[in-house]
Amino acid sequence: MTGYEALRHGAAWIDLGGRGRIRASGEDRKRLLHAMTTNHVEQMQPGDTLYAFFLNSQGRILADAWIYCTGDHLLLDVEPEMREKVYQHLDRYIIADDVTLEDVTEATAEIAVEGPASAAAPRAGIVMAASSTGQPGFRMVLPAEEKAAMIERLKAAGVVEAAPEEARAVRIENGVPRYGEDITESHLVQETRQLHAVHFNKGCYLGQEIVERVRARGQVHKMLYPVRIETTQPPPPGEKVFSGGEECGAVTSAVWSPAQGCVRALAYLRKLNDLSVAGAPAQLVQN
């Protein structure tokens, strides 16, 4: 079974060691992260995981993060490209707060296990309720020296390795955006349609005014949607999407889907009917 097939029908492990991992400790850690992100960090209890955005004062998305709560610290799990940016962003706002940041990326390993059969897989270390592909699963953060032994345990349990390109294919099939590819600093929260990252009754946080203004008006000019394109060649990022003969958006990521026999993509769209990409018919997908 390939990693792609295992992600769809069994269980596969994915090496996420390249992601950034930042530990926040100190009595004010929850208060700081609560004020800096879109989700409700202050109500987290040990063992909880949540997904959140970091915004700037204009409401644009600086980064996303999975946040895990332990009894004495919060662990931030961010995209590889955002590791230094998130660290510096938080450090800038620590003034009189009792918060200590530590980049633990090099000292730790991170392994995701995803797929319909992932619940039966062995686990160790910090276990986060997070998925990178949109399939059922979890990810583990453990000391770097324990990585090899954990991989052997997974292999012995019949868990297959999924390569990055296989995981990316399943992610796009499931309509899951990735920061740096489908979400960037030019985007507003509501444009991404990832509202599970936002708690609308949590109180003040950086960028909240813009989020609430957009919600009050109930309107954005474009939104991110999963799309099926009837072609065999994935279009490049930025490829225009048309509604009839009128340009209505652009592709952010695309991949050939062996299981579906078409190209699957994510695209920001202003119109949703009579779609085409590079002359090929396209349609929305309800994931």
Q: Kindly report, residue by residue over 18-60, the tens digit of the pLDDT.
A: 999 999 999 999 999 999 999 999 999 999 999 999 999 999 9
Q: Does the pLDDT of residue 287 top 80, yes or no?
A: no
pLDDT digits (tens, 9 = 90+) for 143-169: 999 999 999 999 999 999 999 999 999
Please tell me the predicted confidence (pLDDT) of residue 203. 87
Asked if 63 contacts 179 with a C-beta cutoff of 8 angstroms, the reply is yes
Nearest Cα residue to 157 out of 12, 48, 8, 2 = 12
For tokens 């296989």, the residue is 166
CA–CA dist 89, 80 (Å, integer): 15
Q: At 171, is the pLDDT very low, low, confident or very high (cuts 50, 70, 90)?
A: very high
- Are residues 270 and 135 part of one domain? no
Phi, psi at residue 167, to the nearest 5°?
Answer: -65, -40
One domain, residues 121 and 12: yes
Name the pLDDT band for 286 (thresholds 50, 70, 90). confident
Cβ-proximal residues to 76 (8 Å cutoff; 6+ apart), any chain: 20, 21, 22, 23, 24, 33, 65, 66, 67, 86
Same domain (yes/no): 147, 246? no
- pLDDT score, position 275: 97
Give the pLDDT band of residue 242 (cuts 50, 70, 90): very high
Q: Which amino acid is at 218?
A: G
The candidate with the shortest Cα–Cα distance to 134, out of 165, 173, 79, 80, is: 173
For position 29, which CATH number holds?
3.30.1360.120
Of the residues 131, 146, 170, the one at which a domain ends: 170
Owner of token pair 């490829």 = 239
> Do 9 and 150 reside in the same domain of the chain?
yes
| Mean pLDDT value across residues 80-91 | 97
Domain holding 234, by residue range, is 221-287
Question: Are 51 and 162 within one domain?
Answer: yes
Determine, yes or no, domain membership for 210.
Answer: no
26 CB burial (10 A radius; 0-12, 13-18, 19+): middle
Residue 178 lies in a domain: no
Mean pLDDT of the chain: 97
Query: How far apart (Å, rounded) are the C-alpha atoms in residues 243 and 239?
Result: 13
Q: Which residues contact 211 (CB under 8 A, 6 or more apart)?
A: 38, 55, 59, 188, 189, 190, 198
Name the DSSP letter for residue 235. Answer: P
Distance separating alpha carbons of residues 101 and 87, to the nearest angstrom: 8
Query: What mean pLDDT do residues 206-217 have?
Result: 93
Integer Cα distance of 22 and 160 in angstroms: 28
Q: Tell me whether residue 180 is exposed, middle or buried, using C-beta atoms within 10 angstroms of its C-beta: 0 to 12, 13 to 18, 19 or more.
A: middle
Residues 121 and 263 in one domain: no
- Is the predicted pLDDT of residue 265 greater than 70, yes or no? yes
- For residue 250, give the CATH number of its domain: 2.40.30.110
Same domain (yes/no): 45, 165: yes
| Distance separating alpha carbons of residues 70 and 59, to the nearest angstrom | 29
Q: 85 CB contacts (<8 Å, ≥6 apart)?
A: 62, 63
Number of domains in the chain: 2
Same domain (yes/no): 86, 157: yes
159, 228: one domain: no
| 131 shares a domain with 273 | no
